[in-house]
Amino acid sequence: MTIAAADAPAKKPAERSAPGVMAGRLRGAGMFLLSIIFGIGVWQLLAMKYGSGLVASPGQTLSAARELAADGTLLNSVIASSRRILIGWGLGLLVGVPVGLLMGQVPFIRRLLDPYIEFFRFIPPIAFVTLAVVWLGIGEASKVVLIFYTAVFIVTLNTIAGVLSVNETKLRAAASLGAGRGQVMRCVILPSTVPHIVTGARLAMGNSFLTIVSAEIVAAQVGLGALIWTSRNYGRIDWVFVGIIMLGILGFVFDRVLRIVASRVLKRYEVRL
């Protein structure tokens, strides 16, 4: 080895792997695009086989989307459903995480609340749609409460699981160093529980989309669920397809954003740990 070669600074791992990372991203994007094209092709074949009365073709669906977008119906529906989902899901996080931390940390509280958690989490939100409308009216409150009901139990259970999975050695080490209950919660339990909270948040988001449709079908004039139901009443299968596809796209975008935020939060806590 020459002196020049020996003195040359070694390439950083990130620099050496940059072309490989870029190639991997391009392959991933290519596979994603290929998958979309394949799905549209299958969709078109099904539309040709069963006819527009049962399956709207991609072209008919795109035309219907333009029609609904032209008069503002599509945008208003997306905004209304998104707002309800984000508010209900956010409230579920705000309540579910502290309750889960408390139940996981305090056995008495866990035994006290566990029967209610186990009872209500098996009752689907759609069973409460009528009661929500009767108690809260047909306004925004009934839809938000149903989504909150959907999210809060999922987040709570995942948070409890995270607290109970914390390594006992870490807790004893923190206690031996003189850490109080608050310090143990903030520096040991919470960082270890973050991955479970993130998982619970993603699952709750998915279930919130399941709830919004049933809630809007029964008690809403605007929203993607209401759009699907109204389209059914008018016999517009193409509008129904637009509503369904927009729900999928909206859920995909929300989950992607949540994954990006979650990855950054997890990296932050990994550094702290």
Print the domain residue range for 27: 16-50
Please say if the pLDDT value at position 172 is more than 80. Answer: no
With b for 16 or more beta-carbon neighbours within 10 A and e for fewer, the 13-25 pattern comes to eeeeeeeeeeeee
Q: Are 85 and 208 found together in one domain? A: yes
Report how far residue 90's alpha carbon sits from residue 181's, in angstroms, rounded to the nearest whole number: 27
Tell whether 2 is covered by a domain: no
pLDDT for res 232:
83
Tell whether 77 is covered by a domain: yes
Tell whether 5 is covered by a domain: no
pLDDT for res 6:
43
Q: Domain holding 208: CATH number? A: 1.10.3720.10
pLDDT for res 233:
81
Q: Are 88 and 173 found together in one domain? A: yes
Confidence of residue 179 (pLDDT cuts 50, 70, 90): low
pLDDT for res 12:
45
Q: Are 25 and 92 found together in one domain? A: no
Q: Are 22 and 89 found together in one domain? A: no
Of the two residues 6 and 258, the one the predictor is more confident about is: 258
Report how far residue 47's alpha carbon sits from residue 57's, in angstroms, rounded to the nearest whole number: 5
pLDDT for res 7:
45
Tell whether 105 is covered by a domain: yes
Q: Are 162 and 97 found together in one domain? A: yes
Report how far residue 99's alpha carbon sits from residue 119's, in angstroms, rounded to the nearest whole number: 16
pLDDT for res 259:
87
Q: Are 153 and 41 found together in one domain? A: no
pLDDT for res 78:
95
Mean pLDDT over 229-241 rounds to 88
Q: Are 23 and 63 found together in one domain? A: no
Q: Are 40 and 106 found together in one domain? A: no
Q: Give pLDDT tens digits for 114-161.
A: 999 999 989 998 889 888 888 988 888 999 999 999 999 999 999 999
pLDDT for res 216:
87
Please report the sign of the dihedral spanned by the C-alpha atoms of residue 56, residue 62, residue 66, residue 69. positive
Mean pLDDT over 212-240 rounds to 87
Confidence of residue 180 (pLDDT cuts 50, 70, 90): low
* pTM of this structure: 0.82
Count of domains in the chain? 2
Confidence of residue 273 (pLDDT cuts 50, 70, 90): very low
pLDDT for res 3:
41
Q: Give pLDDT tens digits for 35-66.
A: 899 999 999 999 998 887 888 999 999 999 99
